Amino acid sequence: MIRFLHTADLHLSLKEKVYSLSVLKEIVSTAKTEKCTHILFCGDLFDRNSDIASLKEDVKEILTSFSGKILFIPGNHEELGISEGSYPISADLSPISYPQKNDRFKLWFEEIDGVDAEFFGFPFRRNLDYSNIQFNEKKTLYRIALLHGTDTKLVEYLGPSPEDADSILDSKPFLDAKFDYLALGHIHSERSEKIGSLLIAYPGSPRIVSSGEFGPRSVNIVTLGKNGTPVLQKKSFLLRVNLKNFLFLQISQARFQSFLKYLL
């Protein structure tokens, strides 16, 4: 059995270091409690490109406590602060595995106890036409894609934002190529939909990123068993964060009020 924790949009930042890293610790703790074999970070693990260098050692220390595999794709926020066309990941982020520069996508093959799966990781691209990608014949029990952008079947698209880069996702080529689960990131509220045999899901951000966000924070726990059908469990969790640090050292009063609404 393969069992993975699917999350995205953690937005780790030096500005909110204690709070954001506490959420990362909670994610790892949840993955271990749920006996996950993998963790999937589907973009915007970091808030800005400069946060990668600032926090990479802290992140690596936290993630090394997880014995499974960690798969990651860069999102649009990993590009913030670098020149257009530059690849956002230059630091060594092991134990995280991720697409390298010039990779159109990265393919991971995983097999545990007779259950095999292909994981396709697509780094964020503003203009990547997924429909032009030719997938080989499916020979594994499962096909999973890691993507970062807006799937208009799940989210109303209101046009390009002047402040935030986007990538419009089309699920049809993945349905045609017999994918079983699209692990999405970019939208901060959780939602999912099944189209034929394809399950499409945003887990939502696992933390409060902006002052207007409140309500349960969650991750997705997905089980791949021998029957060929992914089983999705939405896992809400209370952030075990020191409220004194959270309020006085890390975030604004407005964001703390949003957090209190979530607690209450």
Give the three-state DSSP class for 193: strand
Instruction: Look at the block and give the residue holding tokens 């990547």.
Output: 128
Residue of 155, 169, 82 whose CA lies nearest to 122 = 169
Q: Which pLDDT tens digit goes with each residue over 53-81? A: 999 999 999 999 999 999 999 999 998 88
The whole-model pTM stands at 0.87
Q: How many CA atoms lie within 13 A of 241 on its CB side?
A: 30
Which of the pair, 258 or 241, is modelled with greater confidence?
258
Q: Does residue 158 register a pLDDT over 70?
A: no
- Contact between 97 and 71 under an 8 Å Cβ cutoff? The reply is yes
Query: What's the Rg (C-alpha) of the chain?
Result: 18
Distance CA 55, CA 16 (A): 11
With cut-offs at 50, 70 and 90, classify the pLDDT of residue 181: very high
Distance CA 34, CA 68 (A): 12
Question: What domains does the chain contain, in order, with CATH numbers?
Answer: 2-263 (3.60.21.10)
